[in-house]
Amino acid sequence: MGTIKDEKTVTRSEEAKLKPVSLSRSGGVTRRESKSVRNQQKRDNRADRSRSSIFGPGTAVTGGVLDNLIDEYDDQVKLKENEIQRLSDEVNRLKSRAKEFRVLRDELQKQFQEAS
């Protein structure tokens, strides 16, 4: 790698002045692009505007998106329920093994006392 000559360094504040950005509800387009966006047809969500949305103002949510979210959460619930069952089975095995060790300990103590 060599050094680059004649490269102009620009600070972030200077760069911001060179590239003004207009963030609007239409998706955050630059001023040059905003002219073409105005010519495009926009959805009319007046019926949806009366209802409140958990996603904030100006955001239209289709039923398909909600269905996908519901499916994802249902899948996560199933996974957690399976994990709970697996952990419960493991706890029962550990309790059983601990019980076996207690019985073995008691038998060894009894044999030791009889031998003494």
For residues 106 and 99, what is the distance between their CA atoms, to the nearest angstrom? 11
pLDDT at 63: 74
pLDDT at 103: 98
pLDDT at 107: 97
Burial of residue 33, with CB atoms counted within 10 A of its CB: 0-12 exposed, 13-18 middle, 19 or more buried: middle
pLDDT at 31: 52
**Sequence spans of domains, the chain:** 59-116
Phi, psi angle pair for 8, to nearest 5°: -90, 125
For residues 110 and 114, what is the distance between their CA atoms, to the nearest angstrom? 6
The rounded average pLDDT for each run of 10 residues, N- to C-terminus, in the chain (116 residues) is 55 58 52 51 54 59 84 98 98 98 97 91
pTM score of the predicted model: 0.43
